[in-house]
Structure 1
Amino acid sequence: MKDVLRPILELTVVFPGLLLAYFPVRSYLKQSSAKLAVWEVPLLFGLCLGGGLFCYHFGLSTAFPLLLITIVTIFLYLKTLRVSLWKSGTIALAVCAVFACLNSLSRAVGTAITIRLQLPPDKPWFCFSACIFYNVICWLTAAAAYYPATHAVRAMVEDDNFAQTWYVFWVLPMVFILLNLFITPRYQITLRTGRVLQVYIVMSIALLFLMFMFNAIFLLMATSLNRNARLQQENQFLSMQQQRYQSLKAAIEEARQARHDMRHQLNQISALAETGDLDGLKAYLAKTAARIPDLDMNFCENRAADSVVGHYCALAKREGVPFCAKLDLPQVLPVDEIDLCLVLSNLLENAFEASLRTAPARRKIEVTAYVHAERLLLVEVENAFDGAVHEKSGVFRSSKRRENGIGIQSVQHIAEKTGGASTFTHQNGVFSAKVMLCGEKQPPETADSTTELYGKCGK
């Protein structure tokens, strides 16, 4: 009975490997975990059982069936995720590299056990004790990697600043997979020759240690890059706030000057009225009205969102694009301010650039944002556009370059990361983006501060 289980147990290590691969991307599953397990676990178990029995019947090594089952498992893994192929494929390769090191270590342990117990190497599989060791160490590795996989690695997956990093990181696990294949002896009897087994054990442990060390170093580097990228984003928004402050300061000064001149203006109006110069009075009133500054003092209580909207409002007015903003955002938001600012800046930048390519008579930008049910933040941006919208399979293509629109992808990713959603529609020359961000429930004193609705529209 144990001989029948040996090849089967060598193949069942795909289960802890698949579980480990799902840890950092579980929020990107196309199905719920329960529904996925209902069909994926029986399917893989059937493949492992069938492959193990086939190897037992013909006395074959499990190397080729394990390769086929691994390929099928990776294919299923990629198809069940809503994430880029670079990210999911690299994670799958990284797990394969770790388990390749564990396979080499288990092979060395199995050979040591057979030598110690003086068992004949009559079968091309691990001894039963080595099979148990192989499965146990794989499950323990998956359990030990749970926290870093669901925190550090997950943060890397969710952060679009690492898009280019995934293009090269797959090389590292591929190198370790090839190294393990290179040091694996073709025949088991080779490990019983001289000091080959001792060298093989040392090399297996060294490769496993180096694999973990390089992954840890990469995670530390990625975390540092993530922190720097976030600081750059915060600096960009602080710059917008500074520009917004300068604009408000200039508007306040203009209003102060206008109030100072009010007495002289009233005297002039009185003089024109006494002389009956109606045309002169109309001309003077029109001239005075034109000098009154357009004071868009605040769009909302939240300074970060106010600065972003104010920045694009100023750009729109400079180019003659009608801009209307209706924001009901408290000072403290239920979602991350940086996420909201990224959503607003991406959507408004796309709307502004589309407006510049639109006929002046049709130009418009409308933005609405408010908190709903104390933990949902809803954002809607509409703009007119001329020309065609390049869309394929729900993915919008950039009109500036031949690739997917980064801004819309970033908005979709942020919405999904918070557990929200996003929709993008275009009809009758109007492009509409609706985004829902989910966050924590606001404290009562903060929720009460959203009673006033700020709305500013400008031509």
Structure 2
Amino acid sequence: MPETIIALARYYITLLFGTAIAVSFAGMPRTRKNYVAVGCLTALLFALQLICLKTWGMTIAYKLYPLLSHLPIAVFIAVYLKRPWLISLTAVFTSFLCYQLPRWFGTALGTVFGSVSMDHIGYIAAAFLIYCFLQKYAAKSVQHMIERSVNSCLLFGVMPAFYYIFEYTSTVYTDFMYSGTRVAVQFMPFITSAFYFVFVLLYYSETQKQASIQREKDMLDTQFNRAQKEFESLRQMQQNAASYRHDMRHHLALLQRMAVNGNIEEIKEYLQTVQTDLDAITPVRFCENETANLVLSSFATKAKKSKIRLTLDVKLPDSYPLSDTELCSLLSNVLENAIHASEKIDDVNKRIIQLRIFSKNNKLCLDIRNCYQTEPIFHHGMPVSKEPGHGFGTKSMAHIVEKYGGVFRFSINDGWFIFQATI
């Protein structure tokens, strides 16, 4: 009787261990409701397995175990926890792989003591210890791995899935593994080694790709945030100018009092001060589009300070696909790069930038060109900068253009560095 109780306890702990590991790998939130649901699920499955065991015997029950245990757990994860089926199945296959750890400890202990009961006790004890270890050190990593992307989930899950299939086909439904042939003995080590090296190579490629995408995203976010801040700053400048114009009546009243008192010199000095203030806060009108005008006005001031001759011919259409932030980012990047390159030219007379924006065939066209001191280096059609912190602007420009199905080209021609885009 005690042996039967110990065997049934192992049977239930096996089910509970696999279920708990699977839902942890699938990222189940640790709430009382979820723990109760898992407990009810394992109790129900255990009852069904006992009925099957009593009705058809151990051999049939073991062969039906995937239908009585693994499939319901996968359905529970997919339906109750609302996880994708790929993640659900990967979590179940991986939890099955974890079965082997307590099973080995149980087998070792049973062999040492020559007792089946010690095998069960060793399994139960190891299951609790391994569950605590996996829950603390592995669950989050596995969850991150299988949720990261479909490719990552497939790379991680292919080995557990293969092992699951191999285990049942070679030991449960056939006796291939127990046949003792050389092929049977060497098959699993060969497959394990092959999968290991394939996994390392493919996973390295996947992580590099993900890291590159994340870096690109971070760079673009930085560019957009900077453009948005600059746009807001320019908008505030325009609002200040509007406020200054609104207060003009106060200036006129003061000038009138000065005129009545005959203070001509004070009037001249005050008018000069007002004119200087207005010039400082009033953007120059380059086009009718507010966003473009604010950006162009800001960079025209920067070009003037750097003694750069900036020529602007901007005719924006009434409608275009870019958002204000994207337009601001695109113009800011093209002009900032051009000014940065022009500032390096020793001969001030050669510091020239020409920008044209126009509409053609319902497409927004942009053409900016500037002279340069050192000929740019290109890699796959993109200019490459060796200076730290540079090179992000060109990637941001390309991203914005490609986002709307546009085309762009960087080139050099007769001493000009040229960027052309059609969106």
TM-score bucket (shorter structure): 0.3 to 0.5
- Which structure's relative contact order is higher, taking Cα pairs within 8 Å and 6+ residues apart? 1
More helix per residue: 1 or 2?
2
Q: TM-score, normalised by structure 1?
A: 0.42
TM-score, structure 2 normalization: 0.45
Larger radius of gyration: 2
